[in-house]
Amino acid sequence: MVERCHERDTLISIFPQMALWSPDTPCSCDCFVSVPPASAIPAVIFAKNSDRPRDEVQEVVFVPAGTHTPGSRLQCTYIEVEQVSKTHAVILSRPSWLWGAEMGANEHGVCIGNEAVWTKEPVGEGEALLGMDLLRLALERSSSAQEALHVITGLLEHYGQGGSCREDTTPFCYHNTFLLADRTEAWVLETAGRLWAAQRIQEGARNISNQLSIGTDISAEHSELRTHAKAQGWWGGQGTFDFAQVFSLTQQPVRMEAAKARFRAGQELLQQQQGGITAEVMMGILRNKESGICMDSGGFRTTASMVSILPRDPIQPCIHFLTATPDPSRSVFKPFIFGVGVAQALQVLSPTFGAQDPVRTMPRFQTQVDRRHTLYRGHQEALRLMERDQDQGQQLRQKQQDLEQEALEAVRGLLAGEWAPPPQELGGLFQAFVERESQAYA
């Protein structure tokens, strides 16, 4: 999916930020959302594949709600920001070397996924907030998708975005797009430096795939978005303002053309299921290899996946399915529900290295450490078995499918009112399925 761009030298002369790209650089993710009536049930359905360097480990981290001393500072991946007095509980799927997250949810049913994007605005190597930091900060500080949008844009204005987004001595920098969802609606937020545009999604299905996709249907925007575009000569100042058209690179590299194909494929897969989109449908889309949505190419692959059910009825719990392992076509989506008794599942928590972590020592990323968590190690062995022994591999894949089907049936019963476990059992649901998956690999 990632190919060499024959016009690379020419493009670099026009857009110097492209010098930070390489043919093996991860630059693909896919986010999806379904808002009733596109959903089969009265719920918003959110989904994301995180495509990253193929050996990068993603851990699933639970962070409880907290209160903080006024004026205190918060260390993110590279920089400190001012902490707020109160933060919400969050569940995060994140590359284990950084502070932020690729995707996640909070206790109020807000879900966010982010993606890399390159525009006419230059991308620098200076350290600021990563898009993944912005994502986590928004989850910790918002109780709705719209509030999360305001958190991100406010932080973007104050601190900017920047810094290398992979654990490597060669910098890899980009700007970000976000898909934000809650129980009632979704928002697409697309950025170019500190500038941004947002689109509100109140019904239907929507996806994003590493490119600007907001055209003329802009619901909110940075106050200087159009004046900046006009000053740069990208827009004449009269007539229709198409954000994607105005801010997208004039000459697209091959890898971004591939993202367009993936974006169209995602649209078609959603369109085929309009009115019948469920969590299972979203899982199927995330597992679609033919379209490239389930990525496994060269130096990167889908390293983790997430699907969330956000019921319109506030009495019903939101359910978040996370894999914590790469390749959703050979992984188990396991359900997480906020509530009493929720604790960190240790099997999906990577080891820590304190002050000796390569991301903390200067210059950064000069050494490598083993960040694999217990479930990741077991899953690696399972993938090797699937590739080495067809019969045993099929048996193991069947165990994965049976476990996931059990989880889906439990969730259907919960939402239908047919299963009413004690709160403690719900809070331990993710832990229970993680343990059973680990046992299957053992």
The per-residue pLDDT for range 72-104, each reduced to its tens digit, is 999 999 999 999 999 999 999 999 999 999 999
Residue 16 has pLDDT above 50, yes or no: no
Quote the CA–CA distance of 286 and 245 in Å, as a whole number: 28
Q: Say which residues have a Cβ less than 8 Å from residue 84's Cβ, sequence separation at least 6.
A: 68, 140, 141
Token pair 């479930």 is at which residue? 375
Alpha-carbon distance 241 to 136, whole Å? 31
pLDDT tens, residue by residue, 359-386: 999 999 999 999 999 999 999 999 999 9
pLDDT attached to residue 12? 37
Pairing of strands 300-311, 296-297: antiparallel
pLDDT of residue 381: 95
The sign of the CA dihedral 368, 374, 375, 381 is: positive
Q: What is the per-residue pLDDT across 118-173, written as a single tens digit (0 to 9) for each?
A: 999 999 779 999 999 999 999 999 999 999 999 999 999 999 999 999 999 999 89
Contact assessment for residue 177 and residue 115, using Cβ atoms and an 8 Å cutoff: yes
Q: Which residues, 6 or more positions from 373, have their beta carbon under 8 angstroms from its beta carbon?
A: 57, 59, 96, 324, 347, 348, 349, 350, 351
Backbone angles phi, psi at 274, to 5 degrees: -50, 130
Phi, psi of 32, deg, nearest 5: -135, 150
Q: pTM for this one?
A: 0.93
State how far the Cα of 66 lies from the Cα of 77, in Å rounded to an integer.
19
Return the pLDDT at 13.
39
Report the distance separating Cα 93 and Cα 324, nearest Å: 7
Dist CA 282 CA 433 (whole Å): 20
Ordered domains of the chain (ranges, CATH): 30-376 (3.60.60.10)
Q: How many residues does the chain have?
A: 442
What would you report as the CA-atom Rg of the chain, rounded to the nearest whole angstrom?
21
Q: How far apart are CA 423 and CA 340, in angstroms?
A: 6
Helix (H) or strand (E) holding 35: strand 29-35
Distance, in Å, from the CA atom of 336 to the CA atom of 106, rounded to the nearest integer, reads 11
| pLDDT for residue 92 | 98
Give the separation between CA 29 and CA 49, rounded to whole angstroms: 6
Q: Which residue has the higher pLDDT, 261 or 179?
A: 179
What type of residue sits at position 386? M
> Tell me, what's the pLDDT at 35?
98
Q: What is the pLDDT of residues 21-59, one digit of tens each?
A: 344 444 579 999 999 999 999 999 999 999 999 999 999
Closest CA to 119 of 227, 18, 192, 46: 192
Q: What is the C-alpha separation between 114 and 131, in angstroms, rounded?
A: 7
Catalytic site positions: 29
Contact 308, 320 (CB under 8 A): yes
Residues near 250 by Cβ (< 8 Å), separated by ≥ 6? 14, 120
pLDDT 10s digits, 332-366: 999 999 999 899 999 999 999 999 999 999 999 99
Task: Provide CB contacts within 8 A for 355, sequence distance 6+.
Answer: 361
pLDDT tens by residue, 184-206: 999 999 999 999 999 999 999 99
User: Would you state the structure tokens that stand for residue 251, as one six-digit string?
Assistant: 């000459």
Query: Which token pair is 301?
Result: 């692959």
Distance CA 109, CA 126 (A): 33
